[in-house]
Structure 1
């Protein structure tokens, strides 16, 4: 599809489509240093690397979220854990969210003692 026929809202994504993800094999100390700096600067590790290299980063913050890959067997285990149907993925997601919130609250109270 040529650029003239693309909707205007799609044309701005052309550069992102051509971007290539690059992985760096480094020592554990380097991983830890970059991750720690990213955490302290409230950045993703990717944005931290871009900042270290003097490259531009997104000016607006990304939506804060956590991700995890779940296989069908994981949904089965979580469904049992929460007493839900394995195909009720939204309810499972809600329960996992509540568990993450509880985890964060527990960690926060532990560090305040």
Structure 2
């Protein structure tokens, strides 16, 4: 009996040539918004759902309210933790912030 072969069909590759997409970078939720530098680029989620990626503009000392800088078509907005917003940051950004405090 012959070994099974995979035939190329539009948009597919033989099993031996398939590649797997890498996992997304590890990200961490930050609750201390006040100490985020304005250079930080973060992911904003609301109740666990992605909202947008943004650059930090400012935060209140109690870390409850955060202003996101305007970028491209996204305008400057204010978010509040009490409305279910969360700030997530990838490991590389977090490491950079910790090294430059």
Normalised to the residue count of structure 1, the TM-score between the two structures is 0.22
Of Structure 1 and Structure 2, which has the larger fraction of its residues in strand?
Answer: 2
More helix by share: 1
TM-score, reference length from structure 2: 0.23
